[in-house]
Amino acid sequence: MDNSKEITRVLFENFQPQAIHLFYAIGYLAIAVFIYGVYVQIRKYRRGKPDGSWNELFHRFVDMVKTMATHRTLVRRDKSAGRAHGLIFLGFVLLFIGTSTITLEYDILEPLFGVKFWYGNFYLLFSLVLDLAGLGLIAGLIYMMYRRKWLHLPKLDYKRVDRQEGDIDFDRSEYRREDWAFLWSFILIGITGFILEATRLVWLNDRPEVWDYRMWSPVGALLAQIMQTLGMASESAGAFRPYLWWFHGLLSLTFIACIPYTKIKHIFTAATSLMFKDQLAGRRLPKVPDDQKTAGYKTITDLTWKNLLHLDACTKCGRCQEACPANAVGAPLSPRDVILSLREFANHALSAKELPKEAELDIHGKDVGQVFMETLWSCRTCLACVEICPVAVEHVPIIVQMRRNLVEAGEMEPLLEKTLQTIHKTGNSFGESKRKRAAWAKELPFEIKDARKEPVDVLWFVGDYASFDPRNQKVTQSFAKLMHHAGVNFGLLFEAELNAGNDVRRVGEEGLYELLASSNIGTLQACDFASIVTTDPHSFNTIRNEYPDFGGKFEIEHYTTLVKRLIETGQVKLKKKLDYRVTFHDPCHLGRYNKGYDAPREVIKLLGCELVEMARNRDNSFCCGAGGGRIWIPDPVGIEKPSANRMKEAGQIEGLQVFVVSCPKDLTMFEDALKTSGFEGQFVVRELIELIDECIEYEVWEDTAVTA
Amino acid sequence: MKILVAVKQVAALDEDFEIRANEKDVDEDFLLYDLNEWDDFSLEEAMKIKESGTTEVEVVVVSVGPDRVDESLRKCLAKGADRAIRVWDDSIEGSDAIAIGRILAAVAKKEAPDMIFAGVQSSDQAYASTGISTAAYLNWPHAAVVADLQYQAGNKSAVVRRELEGGLLQEVEINCPAVLTIQLGINKPRYASLRGIKQAAAKPIEEVTLSDIGLSGADVGAGNSMSHVRRMYIPAKGRAEMIEGTIAEQAAKLIQIMNEFKGV
């Protein structure tokens, strides 16, 4: 290496002053266009409602940088695409820093302070790093082109499930054209950059401070070698260079100017979206402010600025669509399409100087950019889309907000309407008398404490399905026996317990949710207990994540963690081991919602079962189809149910004996699906509690049961 | 233009209910209250008229009953009724459908509506005569069991289709003002969201006493009714049994049962 000042790169050599001025003028113009575009975007976001996500800004920033640096969210479930993006990202960042470094010296430090540093060793290292960055960029882009052209990935097909062939927004071909324009312009910038470098080397091959150090820009040097071999002389290189220089320069400046107007804006929107990520998105739905007259989203301006930003962050990667259970069975829903529709709507309605009339802002309906009612009601609120989105788009809260508006307008299935009225009237979705809530306990050979009357350690919040569904009542009785056997001091709320409201809230009936939640919170607060346990992941989620917003802060756990502890501490003694070959289905509200992946698996192993995972497990678990109130809405005939789709997946496991679930709704859904999908007789569906029950010998109770 | 909709808060039976000590009614502890199902339809019919025409229409709901009835009236307000009136006085307790009709007619005289809608019947008492007796006290025309209504705000008459036995419909032209009792299924009642019901709490419910409408305790109550409940009871259940087994076993069982009845 050599630290002499001669070793650097020529800038504007042999350029007429007019040409340099022209270049700067175009440069400033590009920046002006860029800034105006950014202004229009920010004006658009500011037309949304406020959002309180400004807390812990530094922490959020650090998290965002970490996520971007590691590409953690991008490599998930698509390693190659994630890595290729990583190369493009890294290449772009380094090249951007490189260009900025030159500007820093040439336009700022040197003219103002006479400081120069871009020479010698630093320059050589700079040269090498940027060459590698450019190489990475091009390699990444080539893979992306290959992927789009030859891999035929369904998730990259923009044809919509909620529109018909012939509708103008059916196949979204303009997005495809934009994708290709982006890839080509980007790769051309990279390629011309290298050719430009090689041309400069050939042109200046008689200057030792250039030619002798050419290996510090290896790609350029290799290309220069090829050019010379092909017979390019110094003069012709010198004559060719300005054309190429202008082409490369103008393309790059156009690229910059285009950022806020095209998909390139995801550089900023995705990063900001990640920064404002809500860790509890979907798990804790937003409250309706007390002073707000209508609930939910009716117009595009009802969305918060954060929602509007999320719409722009979407890069159409299709991972949400791939994970969506409604989409998998052919329902007219793709989370991506909901986001893109609203984005198109927002761009159309909110980018102009003046806001259009209120009536033109309605996001519900059948027009371009509007979202169909059928689409919104197809959602199971399983959070698969929110979980996998690499740029932290929060689809489910937007869908539920839109449903709240549908509920206000009464635009829902008659059966769902009936169920909501039933829940209002009786406090449970079965329409049973409140008095019957604990009827299952009557058959037990022991009394369960009434937590309203005496202090208990553990308050058991049973939930509707576990209380009223005859099949689930058996499981509920087994869990009661288990707790009694383990000597846990527990009690129930009996008829004072109401539906916890988790699914009512996800349907969008916020008023009813508020009623249920505040009633349950009042009841719970009047009791003396240390913590709550439930076998119902839905109740678990809303009590854990949503009741605090209504003043109810309680310790709560799902039974799987409690049972695991009881077994480990020896309070529950397993008298025998099971040798079943089993698989485990993660309930959405236990797994994805609350990250309770491990406890049920550990219990299964403690029982001695051989656990074989299905392909879609843990955070990619496939919803049974009952979530978001869909258990109260009949599935359309003729299309596959998500639960049947799941059964087929389980059926592929050789020698499977038991399909284990840990959620009352799952038990109902999958026992039904087992029969209809033709696997009856091959394996069985069991609640984990039932397997535990097999391992405990309740000798004492059997005696009492007989004498009772 | 004004439509008066007479509604009732009805009682539904909880499971395993008990009869009151006086054997006149079900023990109040086992009753769940809600708006009468028919009234959802009559209110919706009034709302449809309000929302379809250009004429300004005021929809007023009226009910006779104690404080608890406010909850049902609020549901009507949430669905879009403009005002609610609740008539109550302790002396009203025990009134039959005819006496209630007298009260509703008195309210109607004060409100002077262009139309009165009521449900065909209430799901708890099922007299099916409150609407008709209201018409009688007002000396207005009436049509019962209306399954279809063609009427626009301000019209001098309405064409109604009445549901008769055996799938028959009778088309009747009726002069207004009139009392119509509305049948289930005439429309699709809207959903009152809980937020809507909560917000309706801000709309006032006018509490009216007997003297406000020119009546007194001598016009209402069990003593001034034309019918009285003597007893409410659960009839003894008949016996039915499915006989299973082979033909021979079934025959043997049958003979055994017959012999038991004969007392052999």
Q: Which residues of A54-91 are buried (b: 16+ CB within 10 A; e: fewer)?
A: eeeeeebeeebeebbeebebbbbebeebbebbbbbbbb
CB-CB under 8 Å, A407 with B193: yes
| Residue A1 pLDDT | 65
CB-CB under 8 Å, B196 with A511: yes
> Cα–Cα distances in Å, from A176 out to A127, A169, A171, A316, B246?
35, 13, 9, 10, 72
Beta strands in A54-171 (DSSP E): none
CB-CB under 8 Å, B195 with A433: no
B253 domain-assigned: no
- Compute the residue count for chain B: 264
Contacts of A670 (CB under 8 A, 6+ apart): A585, A624, A643, A646, A647, A659, A661, A685
CB-CB under 8 Å, A410 with B191: yes
CB-CB under 8 Å, B191 with A417: yes
How close, in Å, is residue B11 to chain A by CA atoms?
A: 12
| Residue B264 pLDDT | 62
> Cα–Cα distances in Å, from A32 out to A20, A268, B83, B94?
18, 17, 59, 82
CB-CB under 8 Å, A412 with B191: yes
Q: Which residues of A287-302 are buried (b: 16+ CB within 10 A; e: fewer)?
A: ebeeeeebbbbbbbbb
Distance CA A484, CA A482 (A): 5
Grouping H, G, I as helix, E, B as strand and the rest as coil, residue B156 is: coil
Q: H-helix or E-strand containing A539?
A: helix A537-541
* Strand pairing report for B9-13 and B2-6: unpaired
User: What are the backbone dihedrals phi and psi of residue A386, each rounded to the nearest 5 degrees, phi first?
Assistant: -65, -40
Q: Are A431 and A649 in contact (CB under 8 A)?
A: no
pLDDT band at residue A375 using 50, 70 and 90 as cut-offs:
very high
Among B124, B155, B135, B175, which residue's Cα sits nearest to residue B17? B124
Largest interatomic CA distance in chain A: 109
Distance CA A503, CA B126 (A): 36
Q: How many CA atoms lie within 13 A of A589 on its CB side?
A: 31
Q: Which residues of A333-362 are buried (b: 16+ CB within 10 A; e: fewer)?
A: bbbbbbbbbbbbbbbebbeeeeeeeeeebe
Higher-scoring residue by pLDDT: A354, A325 = A325
* Interface mutation target, options A415, A416, A424, chain B, most CBs of B under 10 Å: A424
B7 domain-assigned: yes
Using a CB-CB cut-off of 8 Å, the residues of chain B touching A435 are 14-16
Distance CA A307, CA A376 (A): 16
Which of B32, B194, B198 faces A509 most closely, judged by CB atoms? B194
B120 domain-assigned: yes
| Residue A151 pLDDT | 94
Return averaged pLDDT per consecutive 10 residues of chain B, 264 residues in all. Answer: 96 85 88 93 96 92 96 94 96 94 97 97 94 97 96 93 94 96 95 89 91 93 90 83 88 89 74
| Residue A708 pLDDT | 35
CATH of domain A17-46+57-156+169-272: 1.20.950.20
Which of A293, A412, A424 faces B194 most closely, judged by CB atoms? A424
According to DSSP H, which parts of chain B are helical?
37-52, 69-78, 97-111, 130-138, 194-200, 247-262
Burial of residue A603 (CB within 10 Å: 0-12, 13-18, 19+) is buried
- Residue-number span of the structural domain to which B22 is assigned: 2-224
> Mind listing the pLDDT tens digit for each residue in A481-490?
999 999 999 9
From the CB of residue A410, how many other CB atoms can be counted at a distance below 10 Å?
Answer: 16
| Residue A440 pLDDT | 97
Q: Torsion angle of alpha carbons A619, A623, A628, A629, nearest 10°?
A: -160
- A701 pLDDT higher than 60: no
> Cα–Cα distances in Å, from A425 out to A3, A211, A480?
84, 87, 28
CB-CB under 8 Å, B198 with A410: no
For A408, which residue in chain B has the nearest alpha carbon?
A: B193
For B29, which residue in chain A has the nearest alpha carbon?
A: A435
From the CB of residue A706, how many other CB atoms can be counted at a distance below 10 Å?
Answer: 8
CB-CB under 8 Å, B194 with A425: no
CB-CB under 8 Å, B194 with A514: yes
CB-CB under 8 Å, B194 with A511: yes
| Residue A703 pLDDT | 42
Using a CB-CB cut-off of 8 Å, the residues of chain A touching B9 are none
User: Per the structure block, which two tokens stand in for A351?
Assistant: 């980018």
For B193, which residue in chain A has the nearest alpha carbon?
A: A408
Interchain CB contacts (distance < 8 Å): A and B = 43
- A460 pLDDT higher than 80: yes
For A515, which residue in chain B has the nearest alpha carbon?
A: B194
CB-CB under 8 Å, A432 with B194: no
Using a CB-CB cut-off of 8 Å, the residues of chain B touching A515 are 194
| Residue A518 pLDDT | 96
Using a CB-CB cut-off of 8 Å, the residues of chain B touching A511 are 193-198
* Interface mutation target, options A425, A433, A499, chain B, most CBs of B under 10 Å: A433
- A266 pLDDT higher than 60: yes
| Residue A289 pLDDT | 86
| DSSP assignment letter at A364 | B
> What is the Cα B246 distance to its own chain's centre?
51
B22 domain-assigned: yes
Say how many domains are in chain B: 1
Using a CB-CB cut-off of 8 Å, the residues of chain A touching B34 are 425
B254 domain-assigned: no
User: Per the structure block, which two tokens stand in for B61?
Assistant: 């709901």
pLDDT band at residue A600 using 50, 70 and 90 as cut-offs:
very high
| Residue A707 pLDDT | 37
Which of A295, A420, A421 faces B195 most closely, judged by CB atoms? A295
| Residue B100 pLDDT | 96
Q: Are A344 and A369 in contact (CB under 8 A)?
A: yes
Largest interatomic CA distance in chain B: 79
* Strand pairing report for B142-150 and B157-163: antiparallel
How close, in Å, is residue A515 to chain B by CA atoms?
A: 8
DSSP characters over A223-236: HHHHHHHTT--HHH
pLDDT band at residue A414 using 50, 70 and 90 as cut-offs:
very high
> Mind listing the pLDDT tens digit for each residue in A70-85?
999 999 999 999 999 9
- Compute the residue count for chain A: 708
CB-CB under 8 Å, A425 with B198: no
CB-CB under 8 Å, A410 with B194: no
For A513, which residue in chain B has the nearest alpha carbon?
A: B194
CB-CB under 8 Å, B195 with A511: yes
| Chain A interface with B: residues with Cβ < 8 Å | 288, 293, 295, 407-408, 410, 412, 417, 420-421, 424-426, 432-433, 435-436, 509-512, 514-515
| Residue A700 pLDDT | 52
How close, in Å, is residue A424 to chain B by CA atoms?
A: 9
> Mind listing the pLDDT tens digit for each residue in A178-222?
999 999 999 999 999 999 999 999 999 888 888 989 999 999 999
Contacts of A436 (CB under 8 A, 6+ apart): A468, B15
Beta strands across the sheet bearing B83-87: B169-175, B157-163, B142-150, B178-182, B115-119, B2-6, B58-64, B83-87, B205-208
* Interface mutation target, options A287, A408, A423, chain B, most CBs of B under 10 Å: A408
Distance CA A217, CA A201 (A): 10
CB-CB under 8 Å, B198 with A288: no
> Which ipTM score applies to this complex?
0.81
- Angle between helices B130-138 and B97-111 in degrees, nearest 10: 50
Q: Are A532 and A556 in contact (CB under 8 A)?
A: yes
Task: Count each helix (H run) and each strand (E run) in chain B, helices first.
Answer: 6, 11
* Strand pairing report for B83-87 and B115-119: unpaired
For B188, which residue in chain A has the nearest alpha carbon?
A: A414
User: Per the structure block, which two tokens stand in for A379?
Assistant: 């959602």
| Residue A705 pLDDT | 41
Distance CA B82, CA B203 (A): 8
For B33, which residue in chain A has the nearest alpha carbon?
A: A425
- Domain borders along chain A are 17-46+57-156+169-272, 289-294+308-408, 416-695
Of the listed ranges A544-558, A593-607, B3-17, B132-146, the least confidently predicted one is: B3-17
Q: Is the domain covering A289-294+308-408 a CATH 1.10.1060.10 domain? A: yes
Q: Strand pairing partners for B149? A: B160
> Mind listing the pLDDT tens digit for each residue in A288-308?
988 888 889 999 999 999 999
For B13, which residue in chain A has the nearest alpha carbon?
A: A433
- A164 pLDDT higher than 70: yes
| Chain B interface with A: residues with Cβ < 8 Å | 14-16, 32, 34, 190-191, 193-199
Using a CB-CB cut-off of 8 Å, the residues of chain A touching B191 are 407, 410, 412, 417, 420-421
Which CATH number is B152's domain given? 3.40.50.620
> Cα–Cα distances in Å, from A310 out to A178, A187, A207, A244, A393?
20, 27, 52, 38, 5
Using a CB-CB cut-off of 8 Å, the residues of chain A touching B190 are 410
| DSSP assignment letter at A109 | I
Which of A408, A420, A426 faces B196 most closely, judged by CB atoms? A408
Distance CA B217, CA A174 (A): 78
